[in-house]
Amino acid sequence: MIGRLNHVAIATSDLAKAAAVYRDQLGAEVSAPVDLPEHGVTVVFVALPNTKIELLQPLGEHSPIAAFLEKNPSGGMHHLCYEVEDVEAAAAYLKSQGARVLGEIKIGAHGKPVLFLHPKDFGGVLIELEQA
């Protein structure tokens, strides 16, 4: 069901510093920050030849990454995003298999439907599925 690795997301409490590391030390192409209030994050994209890195900083009082950063104050890898042909069909199938789909399907950072799967059902890794 899953296809390409769309992005690897890294949570940070200092987005400017994380973006500078990727731009100035690692020599990557780094976007300007974008606020996504419906996701509770501000995001910077790092373009790599074969995938993207998504740098995430909490936005607002109820950010879904706030608790993660409390437990990991230095930041760290937050989720992997795989592409699927049909997010709704993927959600229905995974629910039928007993996996926990978190919340509702939303429009993600790339303007396409996304959903999240509970890390405890996937080897301790939070998974995002994005419609290809």
Ligand X SMILES: CC[C@@H](C(=O)O)C(=O)SCCNC(=O)CCNC(=O)[C@H](O)C(C)(C)COP(=O)(O)OP(=O)(O)OC[C@H]1O[C@@H](n2cnc3c(N)ncnc32)[C@H](O)[C@@H]1OP(=O)(O)O
Instruction: For residue 17, give the amino acid letter.
Output: K
Candidate list 84, 91, 94, 109; residue touching ligand X; CB under 6 A: 109
Q: Quick one: which of 33, 52, 64, 99 contacts ligand X (CB under 6 A)?
A: 64
Is 104 annotated in the active site?
no
**Which residue of the set 61, 83, 85, 128 is catalytic?**
128
Stretch that binds Co ion, among 17-25, 63-71, 74-82, 118-126 (CB under 5 A): 74-82
Residue pointed to by tokens 């074969």: 50
Closest distance of CB 66 from ligand X, Å: 7
Mark 80-110 as b/e (b = at least 16 C-beta within 10 Å).
Answer: bbbbbeebeebbeebeeeebebeeebeebbe
Work out whether 36 is an interface residue with ligand X (CB under 6 A).
yes
CB count within 10 Å of CB 129 equals: 27
67 binds ligand X (CB under 6 A): yes
Instruction: Confirm if 5 and 49 have CB atoms less than 8 A apart.
Output: no
Name the residue whose CB lies closest to ligand X. Answer: 108
Q: What DSSP string runs through 81-94? A: EEEES-HHHHHHHH
What is the binding site for ligand X (CB under 6 A)? Answer: 9, 36, 39, 41, 43, 54, 56, 64-65, 67-68, 71, 78-79, 81, 102, 108-109, 114, 116, 119-120, 124-126, 128
Would you please indicate which residues are annotated as catalytic (active-site) residues? 128
